[in-house]
Structure 1
Amino acid sequence: MTTPNLTPSELMLQVTGTQPILINVPHAGTQLPPSLKANLRDNALNLKDTDWHMADFALPCAELGASVMAANYSRYVVDLNRSREDTPLYSGPTTGLISQIDFDGEPLYKEGMAPNHDEVQSRIETYWVPYHDALEAEIQRIKSKFGMCILLDLHSIRSQVPRLFENILPDLNLGTNSGQSTDFKYESCAENLLSSSSYSFVKNGRFKGGYITRHYGRPEQNIHALQLEIAQSTYMIEQAPWTLVQKKADQLTSTIKGLASALLVETSTA
C-alpha cells in the first residue's frame, strides 16, 4: 500500500475548546484507503465494527467549551485504541491493532491479501502516530492552561456480540481501568450521573477502558481518563445501513452532554 501524505484535517476532526475536558472518538471513522478497500472481503465493507454516529454525539459538547477529536479513518485501517506494540488489553477474544478479523471472528481480507509487515508499519506511521501525537498535544495544551485535563473517550458497539461478551450489553459501560485512570471524584461523578439515568449501567465490567484510557489516564499528573462504551441499541438500528433513531439519539445526546457538564462542574472544585 502506498503511504499517502495526509494533513491533520484529513486524519481527524478536531475542535479546540476553552474548558479542561477533551472528548475523543477514536473509532468514528469510515474512510478507507482505496488500496485497502480493494483487499477487503465484500462483507467487511459495511464496516459493522464502526462506532457509528459517535462523533455526532461528541460535537454538542463543544457548546460547553469541550475540545473534540474524532478519527476519520476506519479502525480496519489501524485501531487507535490499541498500543503500537499491539499488547493485548483483555484476556478473552478481541481484535488487534491491525486486525485480520472482525468482532465476530470473520476474516476481513480476501485470501492472500492480508497486510504484510511493511504495510503494517506504514499504517502505524501514517495513521496511528499522528493521531496520538495530536491527542497528546491537546491533552498537554489543556493541562498547561488549566493545570489538569479530563479525557472522555467515547465508544459504541452492537449490543450483542457473542464472541466478545455474553447476553446483551448494558446500555452504558463506564471504564476507568478499575479506578486507575482517574481520580475517584471524577469516577464517582460519572457513575452517579449515568447510574441515575434511564439507561442500564455498569462500571468496569467487560469494558474497563482501552489503550487510550489506560495510557493517557495519569491521575498523579492530574490527567484523568474515562471511557464510555455505549450499546448501539440505545440510539440506532444495529444493522446496515446503521440508521440513527432520532428520538433515542436526542436522549443520548442529552446524557452525554450532561456527563461532560457534570465533570466540568467537578473540575471547579479541584
Structure 2
Amino acid sequence: MEIELSPPFDVVEPAAYSAPLLFNSPHSGRVYPRSFLEASRLDPLSLRRSEDAFVDLLLADVAATGSAVMSARFPRAFLDVNREPYELDPRMFDGRLPNYANTRSLRVAGGLGTLARVVSENQEIYARRLPVDEALRRIEELYKPYHRTLRRLLGQIHREFGVALLVDCHSMPSCGLAREDRPRADIVLGDRYGTSCSHLITDCADEALRSLGYSVARNKPYAGGYITEHYGNPGAGFHVIQIEINRSIYMNEQDFSLAPAFDRLKRDLTVLRDTLAGLPFHYLDAFHLAAE
C-alpha cells in the first residue's frame, strides 16, 4: 500500500512570534489515500467518523495573530500520531511485530492504536490483515516526521521565549456511545489532571471560554492523550493543554456540513489565543522551577 500524501502535514509559522504558542491539530486530516480506501471495508463517510473534522479550518486565523499552527493532512483512521509510535494490535497484521511494539495498551485493546483497527461504534476498518511492513512504513514516513517537526517547533519557541505552550486541538462527538450518556460540554480542557501544564493556564482558558458563552468541563471524559502526556513538562517550561470541541456546536455530525456558528467559533479561538498569549509566561516558568 503506497502512501500517497505530499506533504503529509502542514505547518504555518508567523513572520515573528508574538507569544510562545503552538497550536496543533493531529486528527483533522481528510486526505484519504486511494489504496487505503480500497483496503477498507467501510465507505468514506463511515471512515470520517473518527476525524476531528475541520479543526484545522477553525485554527486558520491563529497564525495571523503571531502563533504557529501545525495540522496533519493524513486521517486519524490511517495513522494516529496521538499514540505511542508502536501501539499496534497483532491481530491486524500478517507477520510478526517488532519486540518493542506495545501490543497490550488499553488503546490497542480498544482498537485505537497507532494504526486503528476500528472507527466509531467499533466498526472494523480493514477487510483483511495488513502486512507488518505497511505499519512500519506509515510510522517511518508519517509518524516520525510529524513528531520531529513538533519537537523542533516547540524547541524553537522554548529557545526564543524560555517557555513554550502547546495547545493540542481536537473535537468530540456530542454524546458518548452509551445511550445513558448526557450531552457533553461545549469544550473539555485536558491537562492530565494538572500535570501537563500550569493550572494557571487551564484556569485562564476555562475563564476565557466561559466568558465567550461556552460550557466547559475539565479532564472528563478527555484528560489528554499521548501528545499532552509526552510533551507536557511544566517544570522544564513545556506546557501542554488539550482542547476538545463538541462537534455539534460548529457542524452537522451526520452529513459533515458546517453549522452557522462555525465562523463565530473560529473567531472565538483567536480570542482564546490572544488571552493565552497575555499570560505572564516567565512567571509560570520561574514558578515551576522554584517548585522543583
The reply to whether TM is greater than 0.5 is yes
Question: How far off is 1:44 after superposition?
Answer: 4.7
Over the residues paired in the alignment, what is the CA RMSD in angstroms? 2.2
Q: What is the CA–CA distance in structure 2 between the aligned matches of 1:191 and 1:92, rounded to whole Å?
A: 33
Q: What is the CA–CA distance in structure 1 between the aligned matches of 2:125 and 2:171, rounded to whole Å?
A: 20
Q: What is the CA–CA distance in structure 1 between the aligned matches of 2:179 and 2:64, rounded to whole Å?
A: 35
Counterpart mapping for 1:229-240 below 5 A: 229-240=244-255
Q: What is the CA–CA distance in structure 1 between the aligned matches of 2:152 and 2:43, rounded to whole Å?
A: 37
Q: What is the CA–CA distance in structure 2 between the aligned matches of 1:12 and 1:134, rounded to whole Å?
A: 10
Question: How far off is 1:146 after superposition?
Answer: 0.9
Asked which structure has the greater CA Rg, the reply is: 2
Counterpart mapping for 1:158-169 below 5 A: 158-162=173-177, 166-169=181-184
The worse-fitting range, judged by mean Cα deviation, of 45-54 and 143-152 is 45-54
In structure 1, the partner of 2:92 is none
Q: Does 1:55 align with 2:38?
A: no
In structure 1, the partner of 2:164 is 149
Query: What secondary structure is seen at the aligned counterpart in 1 of 2:242?
Result: strand
Question: How far off is 1:165 after superposition?
Answer: 9.0
Partner letter of residue 140 of structure 2? E
Question: How far off is 1:166 after superposition?
Answer: 2.5
In structure 2, the partner of 1:109 is 126
Q: What is the CA–CA distance in structure 1 between the aligned matches of 2:50 and 2:202, rounded to whole Å?
A: 27
Question: How far off is 1:192 after superposition?
Answer: 1.6
TM-score, structure 1 normalization: 0.90
In structure 1, the partner of 2:81 is 80
In structure 2, the partner of 1:43 is 43
The answer (yes or no) to whether the contact 1:182–1:219 under 8 Å persists in 2 is yes
In structure 2, the partner of 1:122 is 137
Q: Does 1:100 align with 2:111?
A: no
**Residues 77-106 of structure 1: CA distance to partner in whole angstroms, max 9, x if unpaired?**
110111113264679956221111112101
Query: What secondary structure is seen at the aligned counterpart in 2 of 1:59?
Result: coil
Residues paired across the two proteins, number: 263
The answer (yes or no) to whether the contact 2:13–2:68 under 8 Å persists in 1 is yes
Q: What is the CA–CA distance in structure 1 between the aligned matches of 2:3 and 2:206, rounded to whole Å?
A: 43
The worse-fitting range, judged by mean Cα deviation, of 84-93 and 159-168 is 84-93
Q: What is the CA–CA distance in structure 1 between the aligned matches of 2:230 and 2:161, rounded to whole Å?
A: 20
Question: How far off is 1:268 after superposition?
Answer: 5.3
Q: 1:260 aligns with which of 273, 276, 286?
A: 273
In structure 1, the partner of 2:258 is 244
Identity %: 30
Partner letter of residue 277 of structure 2? L
The worse-fitting range, judged by mean Cα deviation, of 37-46 and 197-206 is 37-46
In structure 1, the partner of 2:93 is none
Query: What secondary structure is seen at the aligned counterpart in 2 of 1:23?
Result: strand
Partner letter of residue 101 of structure 1? V
Question: How far off is 1:263 after superposition?
Answer: 0.9
**Residues 113-160 of structure 1: CA distance to partner in whole angstroms, max 9, x if unpaired?**
x32322111111111100011000000011111111110011012212
The answer (yes or no) to whether the contact 1:142–1:148 under 8 Å persists in 2 is yes
Question: How far off is 1:3 after superposition?
Answer: 5.3
Q: What is the CA–CA distance in structure 2 between the aligned matches of 1:72 and 1:267, rounded to whole Å?
A: 33
Q: What is the CA–CA distance in structure 2 between the aligned matches of 1:92 and 1:77, rounded to whole Å?
A: 18
Question: How far off is 1:65 after superposition?
Answer: 0.3
Partner letter of residue 142 of structure 1? I
Partner letter of residue 263 of structure 2? D
Query: What secondary structure is seen at the aligned counterpart in 2 of 1:96?
Result: coil
Structure 1 residue runs without a partner (length 5+): none
Q: What is the CA–CA distance in structure 2 between the aligned matches of 1:39 and 1:164, rounded to whole Å?
A: 31
Alignment CA distance shift 1:22-1:230 (3 Å): same
